[in-house]
Amino acid sequence: MSEFIDFLTEVGVPIMIVTTCVFLFAALIIMPIVYASELGCIEQFKSVESTVEVARLNENISPLELAALQHKIVESNAWLAKAQYWNSFPIISWYYPEKVMELHPIN
């Protein structure tokens, strides 16, 4: 039994330390990438929002354009709901900017 414990301390502990360091390093590398990506998605959401406002003022919009616009609204609102949901968790919220919580779904 003591041989097994010696084996764990000689091999198991270093393996656990290396594994923890790799996961921590990966999380620290991924965090700014995801954060920057979400900032881009926020700007894209604002762009869709302004496009919808302009399109609603246009009386000559075709049914096909209206359907495409409605599809984009659904996609944007789905992204917003997902981002706001994940931003509500304390540890995961580091990956999402607080600006996400200021946005409202497009009607």
| Amino acid in the structure at residue 78 | A
Alpha helix segments (H runs only) across the chain = 2-7, 13-57, 63-87
Q: Tokens representing 21?
A: 């360091």
Distances (CA, A) of 56 to 49, 50, 51, 66, 79: 11, 10, 9, 9, 22
* Domain range list for the chain: 2-102
Q: Nearest CA to 79 among 98, 103, 95?
A: 103
Q: In degrees rounded to 5, what are phi and psi of residue 53?
A: -60, -45
pLDDT in tens, 25-63: 998 898 889 899 999 999 999 999 999 999 989 888 888
| Encoded tokens for 71 | 């599809």
Looking at residue 106, the DSSP 8-state letter turns out to be -
| pLDDT band per the 50, 70, 90 thresholds, residue 1 | low
pTM: 0.77
